[in-house]
Amino acid sequence: MNFEEFKNLVFNVAARKGFDDCELFIKKSTVFGVGVSKGKVENYSDAVSVRISFKGLKGDKAGFSVSEKIDPQSAEFLVDSAWENLKITDSEDKELIYDGTGTYKELEPATDLFEKMSVSEKIKIARCIEQEALSYDPRIKLVMMSVYDHEKEEYYIFNTKGVQKYEAVVGGDSYVYLVASDGKAPKRGLKVKILSKPDDLDPKQLASEAASEAISQLGASSIKSGKYPVLFRRDAFASLFSAFLRMFSAEHVQKGLSPLKGKLEQRIASEIFTAVDDPFLSVSPVKRSFDDEGVPTSKKAFIEKGTLKTFFHTLKSAAKDKVSPTGNGFQLKGMPLNVHILPGDKSFDEMVRDMKTGVVVIAMDGLHSGVNPTSGDFSVSAVGYFVEDGAIKKPVEQVTISGSFLKLLSNIVEIGNDVSLEHSFMDIPMAFYTPSVLVNEIDVAGM
Amino acid sequence: MLKESIIKDVITKGLKMGADFVELFLEDKTSTRLTMVDGKIDTAFSSKDFGAGVRVFSEDQQVYAYTNEVTEKSLCEVVQRLIEALECKPRSFNNLDLRREKIDSAHFTLKLPFDVSRSKKVEIMRTAHHGAKEYSELISQVVVNFWDYDQNILIANSEGLVVEDRRIRTRLMVSAVASKDSEQETGFYGPGAAMGIEFFYQNEPYEIGKEAARIADRMVKAEYAPAGRMPVVISNGFGGVIFHEACGHALEATSVAKGASVFAGKIGQRVASEKVSAVDDGTIPNAWGSANIDDEGNRTRRNVLIENGILKSYLVDKFHAKKLGVEANGCGRRESYKFAPTSRMSNTFILPGEYLPEEIISATDYGLYAKRMGGGSVHPATGEFNFAVAEGYIIEKGRIVKPVRGATLIGKGSEVLEKIDMVGNDLARGQGMCGSVSGSIPADVGQPTIRVSELTVGGRNK
């Protein structure tokens, strides 16, 4: 049974059941990944899977269901369980199905270059990265994992209001996670490279960046607790920002789960700070012309020169706020696709010089537990460097940084020109295109 | 779930193509997720996950693939692709003798999730909502999530094993938001078990909601935690996340076999204060992290990890057992058919000691009392861990004096185990989801109240 036949079957069953309108959103994922350690393949994944989401509408209410099977029993399961789910739903928020009247941007077809590479070629790249890392310096003792991944996600949407669309997103990533040791405390190095096409990867460069970072951390120590200027390296800033993205979701704002309630058109960040949601960002492999509800996506600044301009809307939250949908209905939440922080004009080194005494943060841990998008507070562990007299003096470990994320955004004093594509901490396909940022004061706990 | 002849054909194909080991994992899982916001059902979801995973070893390499097209043709293609990736040499193989193992479940379930109406589940959620809402007028929002599932699995491998198991789990999660002036704080409580809705016979939904609200209400009135190093008393139950992060992950064979763990090569050596004994026990009836068999088909066990400070055992899965030259000990777990299994924790906890919890607090001159912990994470290679304190207090002169919020605890695993200087007698467990290479899985953490003589507390400076 193909998707078209399955859709017809489900829509017939749904109409019989009594739904007014319904929609099928199908995600077909084709994933490949290989992880190598000590030259041996340890992690390897090669798979095709399908996930079918059903939404059925009756009046203002909706019922939802998901199946990974395509057969007549699954059609019954989808419709029957959504119907039962709809019956218990008593939220007053109006549910909708999109009518397809917006204008969709035309995207270029996704690349097939990853699929054309042979398996042995990909294993070779993963082994090559490991070798390059180990030969970089004798203090690189172990490569925990050297990985080459790529994925094709195909999205199909059909609904009874006439929307029928398809598009594919293809991207890859490669990372190496290694350990350096000088006989004392071991230090880790992790570098991730997001790939729009296979050519974007330079295995030697990836390996040497991870290796040099781990070595630069050897001999790290804590610092005295206090308030310091903090320079977030671009990848660290991407991680922290992504962990707070939920606060920009309109549904969370409406439900009183975000500190941004009532702050539209107000200043929430430093006036040098602009953040854009760009679903068509040329450097990112993740580009979409419609969201998971079939709504056209759009490029927009959500923070412009420090002012909050919009939340990320689903159909439901847009209707509740009486605004046009923004095309951010991904996985039933209002989320951006690519966050582009507009660069400033300082180089990373100039910012180190400008901060005089302070901390450079290159990585954080505990973002899933130490970040609270409802209160807006964070308290997470960090590693990086201590800066004195405008120069990096020593590696730093065993410190935490704490504060309010909105205060942090307001306290941004310089933005770098070192913008690059960084991965998000969130477990959804999205990317950050961001420079490093300097914040004038953050609480650091150490000794 | 799948005809034995198909299982036989698929595995035999792999062996003939030259694999050392072939394993099939089939999963058919039905789950329900209900979300109640402000007392009203906001979204209700049912899902059916269905698919098969195939794992192949050749010499010391491991490959994995999955599909949700569970047919002989599709599974044979998957095996073929995997073995081509490993470049194995074909060999002759005659007959695979499959033996079906019978499981008598140790985790009795009274009511299966799909035999209970949704409205009954909604009623439980509504009671929890009221428990939270009625606790204090500062509670501005309550989100209640109900999650249950019925997972049926089949595992078959080239050693001839065929075994099926069924896992039922039920969990209620309440997040409460308290608002005061312009500030908001959250409280979370989410108990669950490997059983059906009868879980709530003993765990009052009203009390679950109230507990989440109590934390939010207490924290919104609290000042920020201080920054710096100090003694930390960690309460029982979910406080055990400290052992889970600081030590448990580094005992998983995934890290140990590579020599990437700080505990590699230390069996029989002292790795913790002699007051510390800890176990991982996947057999506890109906516990959140329990199962009859692991996801490689081995019986779950009670594994003593540390006894009086001496390292006794690692958590070992099949692939790494060979590398370490030891037996797999029933801890190969995975989130779903989309993941290859690896060594993971189930219900992991520090065993009780001699002190009453109040004796530990009264013996502490100054420090932090972590009454409720949030989640955490660790780098097993360096031992660096962190976790969030969801509800904290300052101890002064042996007494709890004031609540504090926003604290994080960080340290290094090997150091913190040495610094556990008091262990209470009030062992309890708490439920969480543990995320790692083989996905997100239900796991219990646990401990009695303990004291760590010094930890870095991440907070704010005066």
Say what the pLDDT of residue B452 is: 97
Q: Provide the terminal-to-terminal Cα distance of chain B, rounded to the nearest Å.
A: 62
3-state secondary structure chain A: CCHHHHHHHHHHHHHHHCCCEEEEEEEEEEEEEEEEECCEEEEEEEEEEEEEEEEEEECCEEEEEEECCCCHHHHHHHHHHHHHHHHHCCCCCCCCCCCCCCCCCCCCCCCCHHHHCCHHHHHHHHHHHHHHHHHHCCCEEEEEEEEEEEEEEEEEEEECCCCEEEEEEEEEEEEEEEEECCCCCCEEEEEEEEECCHHHCCHHHHHHHHHHHHHHCCCCECCCCEEEEEEECHHHHHHHHHHCHHHHEHHHHHCCCCCCCCCCCCECCCCCCCEEECCCCCCCCCCCCECCCCCECCCEEEEECCEECCCECCHHHHHHHCCCCCCCEECCEECCCEEEECCCCECHHHHHHHHCCEEEEEEEECCCCCEECCCCEEEEEEEEEEEECCEEEEEEEEEEEEEEHHHHHHCEEEEECCCEEEECCCCCCCEEEECCEEEEEEEEECC
- Chain B residue whose CA is closest to A369: B375
pLDDT at B445 > cutoff 90: yes
The pLDDT assigned to B382 comes to 87
pLDDT at residue A55 is higher than 70: yes
Q: Which of B48, B66, B376 sits opposite A49 (nearest CB)?
A: B66
**Domains of chain A, residue spans:** 3-34+42-88, 113-152+163-216, 226-445
**B82 CA to chain A: closest CA distance, Å?**
8
What CATH topology corresponds to A113-152+163-216?
A: PmbA/TldD fold (3.30.2290)
Residues of B in contact with A87 (CB under 8 A): 118
Q: What is the pLDDT of residues B346-387, one digit of tens each?
A: 999 999 999 999 999 999 999 999 999 998 888 888 889 999
Question: What number is the average pLDDT over the span A258-268?
Answer: 97
Class of domain A3-34+42-88: alpha beta
| Chain B touched by A427 (CB under 8 Å) | no
Average pLDDT over residues B5-17: 95
Q: Residue A28: its chain B contacts at CB < 8 A?
A: none
B379-437, pLDDT tens digit by residue? 888 889 999 999 999 999 999 999 999 999 999 888 899 999 999 999 999 999 999 98
Give the count of Cβ contacts less than 8 A between chain A and B: 244
CB contact under 8 A, B85 and A46: yes
Model confidence at B1, in pLDDT bands (50, 70, 90)?
confident
Nearest to A419 by CA among A345, A318, A315: A345
Point out the residue among B68, B262, B376 whose CB comes nearest to the CB of A369.
B376
Nearest to A369 among B46, B119, B388 (CB): B388
List the domains of chain B with CATH numbers. Answer: 113-150+168-221 (3.30.2290.10), 228-458 (no CATH)
pLDDT at B405: 94
Tell whether the torsion through CA atoms of B125, B127, B132 and B137 is positive or negative. Answer: positive
B177 reaches A (C-beta below 8 A)? yes
**Residue among B60, B185, B458 minimizing CB distance to A381:** B458
> Could you give the percent of chain B with pLDDT greater than 90?
89
B382 contacts A188? CB cut-off 8 A: yes
pLDDT of residue B259: 85
- Is there a contact between A45 and B65 if contact means CB atoms under 8 Å apart? yes
- Identify which of B61, B86, B388 has the shortest CB distance to residue A366: B388
Q: Is the pLDDT of residue A425 over 70?
A: no
* Inter-chain CB proximity B47 and A185 less than 8 Å: no
Chain B interface includes A73 (CB < 8 A): no
**What is the pLDDT averaged over residues B243-262?**
91
B223 forms bridges with which residues in the sheet? B404
Confidence at residue A152, expressed as pLDDT on a 0 to 100 scale: 95
Cβ within 8 Å, pair A81-B382: no
Window 69-128 of B, Cβ < 8 Å to A: 69, 78, 81-82, 84-87, 118-119, 122
Q: A430 pLDDT band (50/70/90 cuts)? A: confident
Between B43, B48, B376, which is nearest A69 by CB? B48
**How far does A425 lie from chain B, in Å, by closest CA?**
14
Burial tier of B90 (Cβ tally within 10 Å: 0-12, 13-18, 19+): exposed
Q: Do A402 and B41 count as a contact with CB atoms less than 8 A apart?
A: no
Interface of A with B in 295-354 (CB under 8 A): 332
Is A30's Cβ below 8 Å from some Cβ in B? no
Nearest CA in chain B to A121: B85
Evaluate if residue A429 carries a pLDDT over 70: no
Taking residues B207-214, report their average pLDDT. 98
Residue A332 scores a pLDDT above 90: no
Please tell me the distance from the alpha carbon of residue B389 to that of residue B233, in angstroms, as a whole number: 11
Q: Do the two domains A3-34+42-88 and A113-152+163-216 of this chain adopt the same fold?
A: yes
pTM of the model: 0.94
pLDDT of residue B460: 87
Q: For residue A225, which residues of chain B lie inside 8 Å, CB to CB?
A: 227-228, 461
pLDDT of A426 reads: 62
Tens of pLDDT along A150-200? Answer: 999 999 999 999 999 999 999 999 999 999 999 888 999 999 999 999 999
The predicted complex's ipTM stands at 0.92
How far from chain centre, in Å, is Cα B53?
22
Average pLDDT over chain B, rounded to an integer? 95
User: Distance (Å) from the C-alpha of residue A382 to the closest C-alpha of chain B?
Assistant: 10
Cβ of residue A47 closer than 8 Å to a chain B Cβ? yes
Is the per-residue pLDDT at A408 higher than 90? yes
Contact A187 B47 (CB under 8 A): no
- State how far residue B65 is from chain A, nearest Cα, in angstroms: 5
